[in-house]
Amino acid sequence: MTACSTEQAKDQLLARYDERIGLAERNLEKLRMRRAKVQADWQALNCEDDLPEGFDALGAVEAYLKDYGISARVFGTTFFSDPRFVYDLRKGRALNELNTRLVFKVVNTPPVELQEGGRLPQNFRLEAGKPLTLTITVFDEAGEPIPLTGTRSVVWRIARTWVSKPEFMKTLGDGITIIAEDAEEGGANCGRLNVQIDGADSARLKGDYIHDCRLLDESGDSSRIFYGHGSIVPASN
- Pick from 14-18, 109-113, 146-150, 219-223: least confident: 109-113
Sheet holding 207-216, edge to edge: 124-127, 222-233, 207-216, 153-159, 168-172, 175-178, 192-197, 132-137
* 64: nearest Cα among 48, 76, 53: 76
**pLDDT score of 176:** 94
% of the chain at pLDDT higher than 70: 79
Alpha carbons 237 and 68: distance in angstroms, whole number: 31
**pLDDT score of 44:** 63
Backbone angles phi, psi at 50, to 5 degrees: -75, 150
pLDDT band, residue 88 (cuts 50/70/90): very high
Largest CA distance in the chain: 108
Q: Which tens digits make up the pLDDT trace of 160-217?
A: 876 678 999 999 999 999 886 554 454 445 678 899 999 999 999 988 888 888 888 7
- Pick from 56-60, 105-109, 211-215: least confident: 105-109
Q: Is the model's pLDDT at 3 over the cut of 80? A: no
pLDDT band, residue 115 (cuts 50/70/90): very low
Q: What is the mean pLDDT of the chain?
A: 80
Q: Which tens digits make up the pLDDT trace of 14-36?
A: 888 889 998 898 888 888 887 87
* 45: nearest Cα among 99, 115, 82: 99
